[in-house]
A and B are shown apart, each in its own frame.
Chain A
Amino acid sequence: MKKHRLSYERKKSLSGYIFLLPWLIGLLGLFMPNFIASVRYSFGNLNLVNGEITPAGFIHYNTAFNSDPRFVPLLVAQLKDTAIIVPVIIMFSLFIAVLLNQEFKGRALARSVFFLPVIIGSGVVISLIQGDQMSNEIINGTRASGLFESGSIFDILEESGINSDIVNVMIGIVSEIFELSWHSGLQIILFLAALQTVPDQLYEVAKVEGATAWETFFKITIPMIMPIMIVNIVYTLVDSFTDYGNSLLVYILELGKKLNFEYSAALGNVYFVIIFVVIALVLFVVGKTVTYTEK
């Protein structure tokens, strides 16, 4: 009996590897060697003719932090942006998903509109559309999209003694409401799907026990959708760090195009390590609050 069970377990574990086989080949054949190669570039000087690498120690890393005038400021700006935009996108998309999850007329239409950014919201088209709207406004001297302007209310806020940093953050959010709604498509879909999976019984119990809407939301909805919340946070972080218009990445890529591979790889590595640390921290902090219902 025991022997039979073991062989079944064994068989199952082998089948696990069979299912992972294509991905494992990709991991070991395509991803890992190239990742290691890029780490090696960053510690050496690459000879483009014969592909040899002469070791150069930490020179490139030293340059990045001590003599490159652009890298550190760009990095700091990028981290600041990310720290603001990720929570905003998560809250915004959760809020929209909760609204879209309610019953109302025209819900199907509203849902498809919010999914539209997922379909067409990729780098090229959206940056062309945006860039163009700007230039057209300049030509016409008109403000076709003046609807995204809201200066005076912020003056009032500042006058009334609110810290100007906070006001600036708010201005940033409002003037980038366009970016925001175009970058939240997938998050809204995932939240919406997660909201559907919360069992109705829980809400019924909460109602019977006399919980308010707020309590129900924070004590039932949020914990139940926490696993997808993590997926969303990680996706948003990665999306923000690897965005098409991210000026730090543009800088790193430009260096690569100028055949300065080693330095480009070094900057890429620094950047990647920072992303890794940020995501690991977030996973650690947020992951502690997650409870899985099954298993």
Chain B
Amino acid sequence: MNIIETFKSRLQNENFKKKVIRNSGDVAFKIFRTVLLFAMCFIIIHPVLYMISVAFRESSDLYDPTVIWIPKNFTVDNLKTAIEILNYGKLLGNTVFYAGISTALSVISCALAGYGFARFKFKLKGILFALLLFMIIVPPQLVSIPLYLQYSDFNFFGLSSLLKLVSGADLTVNLLDTPLTLFIPAALGTGLRSGILIYMFQQFFRGLPVALEDAAYIDGCGVISTFVRIIIPNASGSFLVASLLSFVWYYNDYFFSSMYFSEAPTISVALAGLKAMLSSLTEGNATADPYAIIAQLQAGCLIAILPLVIIFFFLQKQFIKSVTTSGIVG
């Protein structure tokens, strides 16, 4: 009672009143922020939790309405089935190999192009930059069919017809079903994703102080060795971000990997076909449980994203730090 009395009397004081109002506003905002962020995090995490929960269920638990999150009959059979059908061991190796090489190639070519756009003045810069934007917005679906024809009869951008004039031998190669269909565009920085990476790199490099390079030039460093010795070490954070994004994009890519390969080359392509595979296996088998597929599919998803989540887990600290401190933007 006493406290309330004193509080009331202190409320007469204008300054104190203002302070109380401001503080209660702050507290309300903090509560609002916590609730909102918690809810949003929950929405993002929900499907992942659901995936984990279902992947370890026996199919009887799928029918059981009392099972909400924690399975009653814990099993790893779903994982085993998914691993077997996805041909997980082999495809994971493939995927990591393809995505790793493509990432390395595309980060190099995009960093070079981004640096070229960020630091040099040349005649066609405006037009080329417009073409870069153009490349970002042309849907990949539009050029995929002519690209398919080009790959099926690849002539090294006309080089082989030149050679043919000299030697008479036809030198076109069929690139379909080889990982070169992924590596060549990566090495040449072509496509939507590469375009975005170039744009990001340009912004990264514009943020670096020009004085660093000028000092290197004065000391007699050439442009290329300046790039290798000065720029790359100073922009290592941005390289980490770009590599991680690029690796994730290649790892998850469905469109290009499915377009130029007759057999599923990577996990995400195999995953897209997993449902059809599973249902064709149980077809004609009257005793098979049709709903077991759900658990097996979730198990497939789980093992497909697991490597990425593990990588992210280890790199997360550096990733967030380099995103937020080195400054993606100039």
> Interface residues, chain A, CB within 8 Å of chain B?
9, 11-31, 33-35, 37-38, 41, 51, 96, 99-100, 102, 104, 108, 110-120, 122-126, 128-130, 132-133, 135-136, 139-142, 144-145, 147-148, 177-178, 181-182, 186, 189-190, 192-194, 196-197, 225, 227-228, 231, 234-235, 238, 241-242, 244, 249, 252-253, 256, 261, 264-265, 268-269, 271-272, 275-276, 279, 294
Q: Does the CB pair B44–A38 fall under 8 Å?
A: no
The 9 closest A-B pairs by CB, nearest first: A26-B188, A16-B120, A19-B116, A122-B252, A37-B146, A29-B157, A26-B190, A23-B113, A34-B146
Q: List 21 A-B contacts (CB under 8 A).
A: A13-B121, A34-B143, A37-B146, A110-B41, A113-B44, A115-B312, A115-B316, A115-B319, A119-B309, A120-B48, A125-B268, A125-B271, A133-B47, A181-B44, A234-B133, A234-B137, A238-B192, A241-B137, A256-B141, A268-B139, A275-B137
B180 beta carbon closer than 8 Å to chain A: no
Q: Does the CB pair B33–A99 fall under 8 Å?
A: yes
A27-B190, A238-B192, A252-B141 known; A227-B50 Cβ under 8 A:
no
B187 beta carbon closer than 8 Å to chain A: yes
Q: Which residues of A contact B242 (CB under 8 A)?
A: none
Q: Does the CB pair A38–B137 fall under 8 Å?
A: no
Measured CA separation A129–B48 after assembly (Å): 8
In the complex, how many angstroms separate the beta carbon of B92 from the nearest chain A beta carbon? 15
Stretch at the interface among B1-9, B61-69, B94-102, B161-169: B61-69
A26-B188, A228-B329, A238-B192 known; A253-B141 Cβ under 8 A:
yes
Measured CA separation A241–B198 after assembly (Å): 20
Measured CA separation A100–B323 after assembly (Å): 13
Q: Which residues of A contact B40 (CB under 8 A)?
A: 96, 114, 181
In the complex, how many angstroms separate the beta carbon of B163 from the nearest chain A beta carbon? 16
Stretch at the interface among B13-21, B70-78, B123-131, B279-287: B123-131
In the complex, how many angstroms separate the beta carbon of B314 from the nearest chain A beta carbon? 12
Q: Does the CB pair A99–B298 fall under 8 Å?
A: no
Measured CA separation A252–B255 after assembly (Å): 14
In the complex, how many angstroms separate the beta carbon of A139 from the nearest chain B beta carbon? 6
Q: Does the CB pair A244–B254 fall under 8 Å?
A: yes
Q: Which of B36, B48, B62, B138 contacts A272 (CB 8 A)?
A: B138
A108-B320, A128-B271 known; A241-B139 Cβ under 8 A:
yes
Measured CA separation A104–B43 after assembly (Å): 20
In the complex, how many angstroms separate the beta carbon of A282 from the nearest chain B beta carbon? 11
B223 beta carbon closer than 8 Å to chain A: yes
Q: Which residues of B contact A190 (CB under 8 A)?
A: 328-329
Q: Which of B65, B191, B255, B308 contacts A119 (CB 8 A)?
A: B308
Q: Does the CB pair B189–A104 fall under 8 Å?
A: no
B294 beta carbon closer than 8 Å to chain A: yes
Q: Does the CB pair A128–B196 fall under 8 Å?
A: no
Q: Does the CB pair B245–A118 fall under 8 Å?
A: yes
Q: Which residue of B lies closest to A110 (CB)?
A: B37
> Interface residues, chain B, CB within 8 Å of chain A?
30, 33-34, 36-37, 40-41, 43-48, 50-51, 54, 62-63, 65, 68, 108-110, 112-113, 115-117, 119-123, 125, 128, 131-147, 149-150, 157, 184-185, 187-192, 194, 196, 198-200, 203, 206-207, 223-224, 227, 245, 248-249, 252-255, 268-269, 271-272, 274-275, 291, 294, 297-298, 300-301, 304-305, 308-309, 312, 316, 319-320, 323-325, 327-330
Q: Which residue of A lies closest to B46 (CB)?
A: A145
Q: What does DSSP make chain B's interface, helix, strand, loop or mixed? A: helix
Q: Which of B113, B144, B271 contacts A19 (CB 8 A)?
A: B113
Q: Which of A25, A135, A265 contacts B142 (CB 8 A)?
A: A265
Q: Which residues of A contact B110 (CB under 8 A)?
A: 23
Measured CA separation A96–B116 after assembly (Å): 34
Measured CA separation A17–B128 after assembly (Å): 11
In the complex, how many angstroms separate the beta carbon of B192 from the nearest chain A beta carbon? 7
Q: Which residues of B contact A108 (CB under 8 A)?
A: 320
Q: Which residue of A lies closest to B135 (CB)?
A: A31
Q: Which residues of A contact B253 (CB under 8 A)?
A: 122
Query: A194-B328, A275-B139 provided; 13 other pairs, C-beta below 8 A?
Result: A16-B122, A19-B115, A23-B116, A25-B188, A38-B145, A104-B33, A116-B48, A129-B47, A189-B328, A196-B324, A197-B327, A234-B136, A256-B145
Measured CA separation A269–B145 after assembly (Å): 13
Q: Which residue of A lies closest to B238 (CB)?
A: A193
In the complex, how many angstroms separate the beta carbon of B137 from the nearest chain A beta carbon? 6
Measured CA separation A275–B135 after assembly (Å): 12
Q: Does the CB pair B50–A23 fall under 8 Å?
A: no
